A and B are shown apart, each in its own frame.
Chain A
Amino acid sequence: MKALIYIFIAIVVLTTAIYPVEEKGKAPFFYLSKKRIQLNLSPGASKLCRIYSRELVLYRKYKVKDCYKTLRSFRKLFPKILQENKEKKEIMLMFFDSLGERLTPKVTLKEGIFQVQTIVYIANDKSFFLELIDGIGKYYFYKVDPKYLYLTN
């Protein structure tokens, strides 16, 4: 019996050596793979608003549509927003403070430290994305799993 176990272990070791499994299931570099993505923003003092903007770079002009109270997690909020905007191909979300000033919360990831410009939902891909700007003004567009997105206290 012991010999059989040793043979089994030897086979497993040999096959993993021949076929390395390290790349299996690895996500593209433009997906945020971190399990907990914390946006530096307190839930009570901010709101998340759906906006409309033709602009894609400058965001100088946009119309604020519906606003939602934020909680630490987005688990309940995102399904609600999607439900209310079923016919939209793209939903753009921005953070605002109670006075209506736009907020760009900080987020620290292994990819770097960024300010969150918008959260985008693309119906075609059924996916959420973050539009981020780093310290020297470079732009990033990362796909994100909304269930790992949180606000800090």
Chain B
Amino acid sequence: MFEQAYTIEKIAPRFSIVLYENTLKKSRPRTRIRRIAIHRLFYLYAKFSMYEDIFILNEKYPPRKSRRKYTKKLIQKMAKRFAFNEELASKVLPLASKTDEESTKQLLTLYNTEPNFHLFRFIFYIKLKIKDKAGLKYCLSELSGINPVFKLVYILKQVPKKMPSYVHKYASQVSLSNQQKMDILYLYGIYLRDRHRYRMAVRYLRMSSSFNTFNTSKRYLNRSLTEAARVLITSGRSREGCSLARGKKIYVQNTADKLLHFYCKERNIQKIRTLKPALLQLAEKENNLFFKKILKIVY
């Protein structure tokens, strides 16, 4: 697994992450392989701005001097980019990856001294990634004035059965911004995709994209259309899926985006084949049918 990760890192570094993560999971404490895996993961998470994963990694494998130093630098960078208090973030973000009740309470007390949308977003996604259901529930109920979109993400991941009624409820609110409309429809599209209702998923994802207000939308395929393209490919409509990306760049934020780029833009089947070990792992992780479908197409 380690050798595979190392080889793939040279071809498409994003795809080596899942292999290093598995190497780390299977490694024994105090081995060289574990040290290298942690080192590579830390470097790759930072390279691809996967900030949440850095704090989760640090919590599981406490950092020594050099990683601590780089984490500090990274928080500096994040605070500047997302305009939040650096000192507060350096206390709050490590706390977010702890799951005990006391830490969550302490986290919220600190956060409330200077609330910030982006800082909350990081806390929320760290908790979501470590599946801290109780912590998430506590954060969402204790903080007032939270964007309802966070609550919908929580419902989608934790209690998907309730998704249609919550989408109905939040979509009925007055004075929703276009961004919120885009997010609500996107999450509903994801829910339908997970239910294998692909035709409906594509429709809601495309409508979501129509509420996009970002300036970059002319050059880049937005998140909703990127997902619509993937659902079309997953459901055996490759030509239509790739047609959505025609004339636009794919804004790569994760491995699924990069794979869509290789498949629709570079049309590089050979390259995709070399990624097989990573694609197999990614397909298993959260049962991702897009990766499974691409594997089927290229083999």
Contact indicator B240/A58 (Cβ below 8 Å): yes
Given that A55-B240, A58-B243 are contacting pairs, would A30 and B207 also be in contact in the complex, using a CB cutoff of 8 Å? yes
Distance A4 CA – B173 CA, assembled complex (angstroms) = 36
Asked if A2 is at the interface of the complex by the 8 Å CB criterion, the answer is no
Contact indicator B174/A22 (Cβ below 8 Å): yes
Tell me the residues in window 66-98 of chain A with beta carbons closer than 8 Å to chain B beta carbons. Answer: 90
Contact indicator A56/B210 (Cβ below 8 Å): no
Tell me the residues in window 109-139 of chain A with beta carbons closer than 8 Å to chain B beta carbons. Answer: 122, 124, 129, 131, 134, 138-139
Distance A122 CA – B207 CA, assembled complex (angstroms) = 17
Interface of A (DSSP majority class): loop
Residues of A within 8 A of B181 (CB): 29
Contact indicator A139/B206 (Cβ below 8 Å): yes
Contact indicator A29/B176 (Cβ below 8 Å): yes
Contact indicator A56/B202 (Cβ below 8 Å): yes
Interface of B (DSSP majority class): helix
Asked if B47 is at the interface of the complex by the 8 Å CB criterion, the answer is no
Contact indicator B204/A141 (Cβ below 8 Å): yes
Please, how many residues of chain A have a CB less than 8 angstroms from a CB on the other chain?
22
Tell me the residues in window 144-200 of chain B with beta carbons closer than 8 Å to chain A beta carbons. Answer: 167-168, 171-174, 176, 181, 185, 197, 199-200
Contact indicator B174/A23 (Cβ below 8 Å): yes
Distance A4 CA – B150 CA, assembled complex (angstroms) = 48
* A27 nearest CB neighbor, chain B only: B172
Tell me the residues in window 233-288 of chain B with beta carbons closer than 8 Å to chain A beta carbons. Answer: 237, 240, 243-244
Distance A6 CA – B181 CA, assembled complex (angstroms) = 43
Given that A56-B232, A56-B237 are contacting pairs, would A23 and B207 also be in contact in the complex, using a CB cutoff of 8 Å? no
Asked if A140 is at the interface of the complex by the 8 Å CB criterion, the answer is yes
Contact indicator A140/B232 (Cβ below 8 Å): no
Contact indicator A141/B199 (Cβ below 8 Å): no
What string of 1s and 0s marks CB contacts (under 8 Å) between A17-39 and chain B?
Answer: 00000110011111000000000
Residues of B within 8 A of A56 (CB): 199, 202-203, 232, 237, 240
* B169 nearest CB neighbor, chain A only: A28
Contact indicator B199/A90 (Cβ below 8 Å): yes
Distance A57 CA – B176 CA, assembled complex (angstroms) = 27
Asked if A54 is at the interface of the complex by the 8 Å CB criterion, the answer is yes
Contact indicator A30/B240 (Cβ below 8 Å): no
* B202 nearest CB neighbor, chain A only: A56
* A120 nearest CB neighbor, chain B only: B203
| B223 CB, min distance to chain A CBs, angstroms | 15
| A58 CB, min distance to chain B CBs, angstroms | 6
Contact indicator B206/A57 (Cβ below 8 Å): yes
Distance A54 CA – B238 CA, assembled complex (angstroms) = 12
Residues of B within 8 A of A140 (CB): 207, 210
Contact indicator B168/A28 (Cβ below 8 Å): yes
Contact indicator A54/B237 (Cβ below 8 Å): yes
* B188 nearest CB neighbor, chain A only: A30
Contact indicator A122/B200 (Cβ below 8 Å): yes
Query: Can you pick out 14 interface pairs between chain A and chain B where the beta carbons lie within 8 Å of each other?
Result: A22-B174, A27-B172, A28-B171, A56-B240, A57-B202, A58-B243, A129-B203, A134-B210, A138-B209, A139-B203, A139-B209, A139-B210, A140-B210, A141-B206
What is the interface of chain A, defined by CB distance below 8 A to chain B? 22-23, 26-30, 54-58, 90, 122, 124, 129, 131, 134, 138-141
Q: Given contact pairs A30-B207, A56-B202, A139-B210, enumerate 9 new A-B contacts (beta carbons under 8 Å).
A: A22-B174, A23-B173, A28-B172, A56-B240, A57-B240, A57-B243, A90-B199, A139-B209, A140-B210
